[in-house]
Amino acid sequence: MSDNGNLSPSTLIGISCDSIMENLRQMFHEHPNADYRILMLLPDSDAVVRQVAFEMGYGFEQKITDVRQIHTVADAVTATNLRIKSAVALLKNTQAFRDQHLQIKYYNEFTPWWIYCVDMNKIYVGILEKGTRGSESAAILMKKNEKALTTFDAFEHHWQRLWEEATPI
């Protein structure tokens, strides 16, 4: 399996991938010899706290001081950490992982979007809106332009950087 950081037909970045888990498992079953790379948010990290707070409507630098709000965010962080760990356990139990066709890494950075690369020329990017879960975010389809740098290249570069810095599972 190539680990050179270039987007392939089977790369994605997500927080917990719980909203697409069944689709992933079906894809692994239908394409058992394809290689897959998945970036998951590092559980029990500050990045999870920032991600959850953002999904709950808090700004990047906003301090939460109300005790009830602190507990609400803490409960949501605990649930998100469990979803991430459960998703990783499910993915590690797939034939794709056992056959080394699936690589999973943890990234440790708040990222206000998810990325799914359909092929080397087309990616979907979900732009997270403050106060909205990733599964409810607007998605943009971007295509590679061989003649000029575009937004596609910026997201591809971001994905490559995260992959290179991420911790293998």
The span from the first CA to the last CA of the chain, in angstroms, equals 15
Residue 125 in tokens: 């990017």
Structural domains of the chain ordered from first start: 11-168 (3.30.870)
Cα maximum dimension of the chain: 54
pTM: 0.85
Q: Say if residues 8 and 35 touch (Cβ distance below 8 Å).
A: yes
Q: Residue type at 154?
A: A
Residue 12 in tokens: 């994605």
pLDDT, one tens digit for every residue, the chain (169 residues): 344 444 444 666 676 787 788 888 888 998 888 899 999 999 999 999 999 999 999 877 777 888 998 899 999 999 999 999 999 999 999 999 999 999 999 999 998 888 888 677 888 888 888 887 777 778 888 999 999 999 999 988 898 899 999 999 9
Q: How many CB atoms are closer than 10 A to CB 165?
A: 12
